[in-house]
Homo-oligomer: A and B are copies of this chain.
Amino acid sequence: MQHTETVEIRGHLIDSGTFARILDDVLEYSGDYRIDQLDVGRTHTDESYVKLTIGSDDHEQLERIIMRLQTHGANMIDPGRATLRPAPRDGVFPEDFYSTTNLETRIRLDAGWMRVANPEMDCGIVVDDEGARTIPVADIREGEMVVCGANGIKVTPLRAPVRTDPNEATFEFMSSDVSSEKPQALLVRQVAQRMRDVKAAGKKILWVGGPAIVHTGAAPALVALVEDGYVDVLFAGNALATHDIESALFGTSLGVDLDKGHGVPHGHEHHIRAINRIRACGSIAEAVSQGVLRSGVMHSLVRHDKEFVLVGSVRDDGPLPDVYTDVIEGQRAMRNALKDVGFAIMVATMLHSIATGNMLPASIPLVSVDINPATVTKLADRGSAQATGVITDIGLFCEQLAAELVVGYKRD
């Protein structure tokens, strides 16, 4: 092992499994390690400290390992200073750019340490007169200065909640696994309490939703939650908005007659007619103000001045006039809407959940609710470690959440 670097980390390393993952990652990246120091907390409330020397035969590989360990909160003992290199072209980073985590990050330049704004994974870090901030590769411009290599960077790991009282219930009801075999009524109450806390703290609640919200009959519950202030921002695609509007205009949603509970199979023309009618109005807000759209989730968001960002996909019909058809522009609009968000709930959508998970800092807790375990698992697999999952029925979940949060909520 010709190349070595020493890293350190402090925290609840043993019982959280962090230490095991660090050692595992070093081997997976074809490196090796030597444990230089290990001070273990003697009881479960004490923090531990580890100092590790990492070795690799290849300098570039070593840099990759160091970057990798930073995702667990391990930093170099002597990080040195950050290297800056200009972007060679619009939309292209320097070859050895530092790829970001979604953790709090600082970089050291000559002037000392500075905080990197907007932690987001898989980005670069650009530095200019206004400071350092993450930037997606599509948005970098030729000549902007980008942090390269692993030097001069420190990340702050998420502080895992310490269970001081083993009998205390924490919010991390699913930290260890994802399962449909959980006491669901309790989960609903925990999510409701978290929402109350977030509102009390003056933060926003972000919902990310798929069309099953409408199909499962959850729209009235979601409307009640909008009206009571528990939905500040909605991220969705063309489908949720279209089915909601189709339901408002025609009483159907892709073939499900919601009042009677039996389907109108392949009632496609309602779907495309609903889109056409809103396109004729010019926008969803215009359709509301013209009296064309008089109920449903989108109507309620417009009426209560709540923000929504609809981003299109290749399978869209239409789409609705409010939909971003360029997905990169859509991502920018989503990033702009994340300000002050303190909690994210993702319901019945794999595509938009992963998209949102990709851009959320690790410090914002998120709950993913889906009847399909794969959605929740994929979200966690892709690096949204703060994600907790609830495998349940969307319709009944939203119904009970509204009953918990909205005084007097009772669906007719």
By a beta-carbon cutoff of 8 Å, the part of chain A in contact with chain B is 14-17, 19-20, 23-30, 32-35, 38, 40-44, 64, 67-68, 71, 88-89, 91-93, 95, 97, 99, 121-122, 136-138, 163, 166-167, 169-170, 172-173, 175-177, 179-188, 190, 212, 215-217, 237, 256, 258-266, 268-269, 271-273, 275-277, 279-280, 311-319, 321, 325-331, 334, 351-352, 354-355, 358, 371-372, 374, 381-383, 391-397, 399-400, 411
Contacts and interface: CB of A to CB of B under 8 A. Distances in A.
A351 B354 CA distance: 14
A23 to B, nearest CB: 4
Contact of A183 (B33, B121, B261, B318): B261
A121 to B, nearest CB: 7
Contact of A266 (B33, B258, B351, B383): B383
A408 to B, nearest CB: 15
A271 B400 contact: no
Given A180-B216, A256-B183, A275-B137, A399 B400 contact: yes
Contact of A30 (B33, B166, B271): B166
B27 A258 contact: no
A382 B181 CA distance: 14
A122 B34 contact: no
Given A265-B176, A316-B327, A330-B314, A34 B43 contact: yes
Nearest to A101: B268
Contact of A40 (B35, B188, B262): B35
A351 B314 contact: yes
Contact of A396 (B185, B275, B319): B185
